[in-house]
Amino acid sequence: MCGKPTGYGKDLIHKECREKLPYITGAKCLKCGKSVENAEVEFCYDCTKTEHIYDKGRCLYSHNGQMKKSLYDFKYKNKREYAKAYGEELVNNLKYEILAWNADVIMPVPLHKSKLRHRGYNQAELIARELSRRLEIPMDSKILKRTRKTRAQKELNDSDRKKNVKNAFIVDKSIVKYKKVILVDDIYTTGSTIDSCAKVLKEKGVEKVYYVSLSVGTGI
């Protein structure tokens, strides 16, 4: 998280850094997993105004402070080794919720081939691979593909995010072997990208689509 070596111990994150991480705690939205202020409220504001296509999701951190910087370095400064710590954190905190979904496969949200070529790796796939290895759920990064180069969602407002990723994904016909899918991404904001992926998956026969993300931002 801070970019400094952790030494030879088992911990991948310094104790001091872990204490600064913005974990999502307390009451959570039953749909997307965001924090809700009142435990008597079932859904967050975003989920009350949006009929999501995916079935359920969970995220670990709020996208601010130390986490925001860490993910920026992971995506744009080639800090691929951070995926190991991210995977460990997700499993340590969300393992039983994820396993309860009884999914057939884990799929990373894909990058467009031009962005993948430029960056050299898909950050969502690195996280998905760690989850797959630690939870012993197969990963498939070939079936779901992004066919259109889209703008970065962080640059857009809520309605433009939906338009930006509409019809941006396709699914290979071999998806028929999967009935329950977990999508993995680094950041969840309004759910537009996850919904767009879930739409094409369900159109091809997938019954349940869940998602896991490392951090969650606030919709505009």
| Residue 4 covered by a domain | no
Residues 6+ apart with CB under 8 A from 72: none
| Residue 177 covered by a domain | yes
| Residue 2 covered by a domain | no
Residues 6+ apart with CB under 8 A from 40: none
Q: Domain tally for the chain? A: 1
| Residue 125 covered by a domain | yes
Q: What is the mean pLDDT of residues 155-170?
A: 62
3-state DSSP assignment of residue 45: helix
Q: Which domain holds residue 164?
A: 15-216
| Residue 127 covered by a domain | yes
| Side chain identity at residue 29, one-letter code | C
The reply to whether the predicted model has a pTM over 0.85 is: yes
Q: 3-16 pLDDT, tens per residue?
A: 788 876 678 888 88
Among 40-44, 50-54, 58-62, 93-97, the minimum mean pLDDT is found in: 40-44
**CA separation for the pair 31, 48 (Å, rounded):** 10
Residue-level pLDDT at 180: 96
Region of 217 on the Ramachandran plot (φ > 0 left; ψ -120 to 50 alpha; else beta): beta
pLDDT over 90 (residue 184): yes
Q: Residue 66 is part of a domain; what is its CATH number? A: 3.40.50
Residue-level pLDDT at 220: 42
Q: What is the mean pLDDT of residues 105-124?
A: 91
pLDDT over 80 (residue 191): yes
**CA separation for the pair 210, 154 (Å, rounded):** 22
| Residue 62 covered by a domain | yes
| Residue 49 covered by a domain | yes
Q: What is the mean pLDDT of residues 200-211?
A: 94
Residue-level pLDDT at 160: 55
Least Cα distance to 47 among 55, 184, 113, 129 occurs for 55
